[in-house]
Amino acid sequence: MSDPMIGLVLLGILITLLASGVWVAISLSIVGLVGLVFFSNAPAGLILATTFWGHSHSWALTALPLFILMGEILLRSRMSDDMFTGLVPWLSRAPGRLLHVNVFGCAIFAAVSGSSAATAATIGRMSVPELTKRGYPESLILGTLAGSATLGLLIPPSIILIVYGVATEQSIARLFIAAIIPGIMLMSLFAGYVAVWAWKNPELIPSIDQTFSFREKIIASRRLIPVALLIGGVIGSIYGGLASPTDAAALGVVLATILAWGSGAFSWKLFGEAVMSATRTSCMIAFILLGAAFLSVAMGFTGLPRNLATWISDMNLSVTALLIALTIFFIILGCFLDGISVIVLTTSIIMPMITAVGIDPIWFGIYLVIVVEMSQITPPVGFNLFVIQGLTGIDILSIAKAAFPFFLLLLLGVLLICLFPQIVTFLPNWMAS
């Protein structure tokens, strides 16, 4: 059987399994077994056992459950409320006023949670009732929340960047540093869109009677100090070369626990809930990674990735043409799978292509995460849409419509890093030098 036919058969099996509701990790493992048994001479059982065992004790992967636990602790503490209170005085006179709380609040919480869904749930739980009560347009409330929560995938410490780094054997520290400027860029695009919209529709933005003196703003900002300390401790230790991402993750858990207890709204019961939730999420992601690792090894034995890379190389496809094709491919794939599944399903096939055309894997990781961010706000499987629907009870299509301008802004972000790759590569190169 020819390579294209083998690829189509395996893809058909995978789609059938996923459409039948089989877990992603099991689907990946089954496809890998089919590839080994029917399209190679390798011992399938031995490879399955050694791959699962070999990839289950990755030291780099240890950062994943720790960062998830840190986010779960913060989700159950009073620090998120303090963050909202500290931002309001500074944003009350900005164009768009308190709508910027969603944008900047999501950006700040993304820097301490690493999860898009956790960011949407935490900030949405605070901002949606408050902004609705003050009379802000529903479409802007939902759109800014859905769009800005995607920053949880990009701004370090990002769980999905850890997954990409482990799956592709890239430096997680360099990926974290590379994500800083693109994260700020996207946050600025979101805030700029809100400001322009408010400038064109001033009658739809409610006025604020309360004014804040500079002294009151400074006093309110004291509530942001714990979050700032946590961000500085985690990211600063990595950037300063004092700790690896795994060490920084452990530091983040310790700091988050201390700050949560210090806020006075944390208990042993909440701590137990955070540990159990982090355990469930970590096991799910680790299981998916093991299935993806096995599929990657199985594909290597079938020769498909190598032959595909050779085929791409022989086509002499330009980098621009390849990136356009991959962007469309990932957007379509993201309509049906969550971001982590998209990355672990595709990296074993895509990375040989990327290497063949000379694209920097670190740059490609940031590009891939931004494209995957789009999948968080696209139906039918947009995790942020589901989270916000659960918070508000509004139908998912209305939320998707409100989030569409932010989908376009993410697409603009992809275009900008393609035109100016230094946006991604500047900090990692400077760090290396």
pLDDT at 308: 64
Model confidence at 413: pLDDT above 90: yes
pLDDT at 426: 92
pLDDT at 104: 85
Q: Which of the two residues, 331 and 117, has the higher pLDDT score?
A: 331
Sorting pLDDT into bands at 50, 70 and 90, what band is 416?
very high
Model confidence at 431: pLDDT above 70: yes
What pTM, to 2 d.p., does this model score? 0.73
Give me 282's structure tokens: 């970590």
CA-based nearest residue to 228, from 431, 115, 87: 87
* SS3 at position 114: coil
DSSP assignment of 58-101 equals: -SGGGHHHHHHHHHHHHHTSSHHHHHHHHHHHHHTTSTTTTHHH
DSSP assignment of 216-269 equals: HHHHHHGGGHHHHHHHHHHHHHHHTTSS-HHHHHHHHHHHHHHHHHHTT---HH
CA-based nearest residue to 193, from 424, 402, 359: 402
CB atoms within 10 A of CB 295: 27
pLDDT at 207: 72
Model confidence at 387: pLDDT above 70: yes
Model confidence at 332: pLDDT above 80: no
Sorting pLDDT into bands at 50, 70 and 90, what band is 380?
low
Average pLDDT over residues 156-161: 82
pLDDT at 23: 79
Q: Which of the two residues, 386 and 258, has the higher pLDDT score?
A: 258
Residue 22, CA distances (Å) to 18, 223, 298, 332 in order: 5, 45, 20, 20
Sorting pLDDT into bands at 50, 70 and 90, what band is 305?
low
Specify whether the CB–CB gap between 127 and 141 falls below 8 A.
Answer: yes
Model confidence at 414: pLDDT above 90: yes
Specify whether the CB–CB gap between 68 and 47 falls below 8 A.
Answer: no
Lowest mean pLDDT among 22-31, 139-148, 210-219: 210-219
Give the ranges where 263-395 is alpha helix by DSSP (H).
Answer: 268-302, 304-315, 319-334, 339-356, 361-375, 383-392
CA distance 405 to 395: 18
pLDDT at 1: 66
Sorting pLDDT into bands at 50, 70 and 90, what band is 306?
low
What angle, 0 to 180 degrees and rounded to 10, lies between the N-to-C axes of helices 24-39 and 3-19? Answer: 150
Percent of the chain with pLDDT over 70: 91
Q: Which residues lie closer than 8 Å to 226 by C-beta, 6 or more apart? A: 79, 82, 259, 262, 263
CA distance 195 to 100: 9
pLDDT at 338: 66
Q: Which of the two residues, 31 and 379, has the higher pLDDT score?
A: 31
CA distance 161 to 159: 5
CB atoms within 10 A of CB 1: 10
* Neighbour-count burial of 209, counting CB atoms closer than 10 A to its CB (0-12 exposed, 13-18 middle, 19+ buried): exposed
Model confidence at 47: pLDDT above 80: yes
pLDDT at 361: 92
Lowest mean pLDDT among 15-19, 91-95, 170-174, 228-232: 91-95
Average pLDDT, the chain: 82
Average pLDDT over residues 141-170: 86
Model confidence at 126: pLDDT above 90: no
